[in-house]
Structure 1
Amino acid sequence: MNRFRNAVKSGEFLVTAEVAPPKGADPTHMIEMASTLKGRVHAVNVTDGSRAVLRMSSLAASIILKNNGIEPICQVACRDRNRIGLQADLMGASALGLNNILALTGDPVKAGDHKKARSVFDMESVRL
């Protein structure tokens, strides 16, 4: 059951919250934080490289939350992928049962923790 989708279809007032994936491979803290929101929000937005800071992928974090009974909205930022990579990630998300996607253009890399990284910006979120 997708509580978020049902609420959208019924015109219900939606409440979501944002959770950042971990900076490493251990999702324990993220799961604990998202679990406190369970039953209080329709879904949890899982950020994708917010503020250009290196973190676990939003796709992996979303699957982890989904497997823990938390409805994720997987954010997909265009900053770090070209159109081939974006489409590949969206197909992967669909194959893994992620149906809630929020497309974003992405924050500039100069805001983040890897100053020498380069943005891709092959397309912006509206075109995605």
Structure 2
Amino acid sequence: MTMTAGSNLEKILRAGHKAVTCECGPPRGADVEHFRHKASFLKGYGDAVNVTDNQTAVVRFCSMAASRILLDMGIEPVMQMVTRDMNRIALQSNVLGAAALGIKNLLCLTGDHQSFGDHPQAKNVFDLDSTQLLNTVRLMRDEGKMISGTEVEGRPQMFIGAAANPFADPF
């Protein structure tokens, strides 16, 4: 099987081994040092670190910035991207931005409904769901195309996954 991103996580899983990932949620403010301090405890304890994307629909600094900070610390991130807050244009743009920053692992999620968070009146987007985002990134990576059919100039080389729950209650 061909490597797609060459990340450590991809190498471990493609070799048929079990991987251990940790999770580090960005803070509810711009305190980078606090985030670095938390992340430093995870270094060496997992094969990669999941970086949440406004988990529980609470505003935090973005998973892309947090993922880049982890890379700079020598920690391999798994950037989470939720579809709740962005349409297909913004999602594809963020995929390209993450790839340009050297982020090689992406976990596609639909995201917690905004009614659970600190902005319950926010409008949801849900233009795509997690599996549609997964297919979008695969299309960009493997076929060099956006959803619209437009060519991608510089394909994002990412190891991708998604979470889906077909039994979840709709909100």
Give TM-score scaled by structure 1 length.
0.95
State how far apart, in whole Å, the 2-side matches of 1:2 and 1:85 are: 24
Larger Rg: 2
State how far apart, in whole Å, the 1-side matches of 2:123 and 2:34 are: 29
Q: 1:26 aligns with which of 25, 31, 36?
A: 31
Which residue is 2:69 aligned to? Answer: 64
Instruction: Give secondary structure in 2 for the equivalent of 1:127.
Output: helix
Whether 1:5 and 2:10 are equivalent positions in the alignment is: yes
Which residue is 2:104 aligned to? Answer: 99
Whether 1:15 and 2:55 are equivalent positions in the alignment is: no
Whether 1:123 and 2:132 are equivalent positions in the alignment is: no
**CA offset at residue 78 of structure 1?**
0.2
**CA offset at residue 65 of structure 1?**
1.0
In structure 2, give the amino acid aligned to 1:101.
L
State how far apart, in whole Å, the 2-side matches of 1:30 and 1:8 are: 27
List aligned pairs for 1:76-95, cutoff 5 A.
76-95=81-100
Deviations 1:29-86 (A, max 9, x none): 2222221111110000000010000000000110011111111000000000000000
Task: Count how many residue pairs are aligned between Structure 1 and Structure 2.
Answer: 128
In structure 2, give the amino acid aligned to 1:114.
H
In structure 2, give the amino acid aligned to 1:36.
F
State how far apart, in whole Å, the 1-side matches of 2:94 and 2:77 are: 15
Structure number with the bigger relative contact order (C-alpha 8 A, sep ≥ 6) is 1
5+ residue gaps, structure 2, are: 1-5, 134-171
5+ residue gaps, structure 1, are: none
Percent identity over paired residues: 48
In structure 2, give the amino acid aligned to 1:77.
V
State how far apart, in whole Å, the 2-side matches of 1:42 and 1:98 are: 15
In structure 1, give the amino acid aligned to 2:15.
S
Which residue is 1:55 aligned to? Answer: 60
Give TM-score scaled by structure 2 length.
0.72
State how far apart, in whole Å, the 2-side matches of 1:113 and 1:95 are: 31
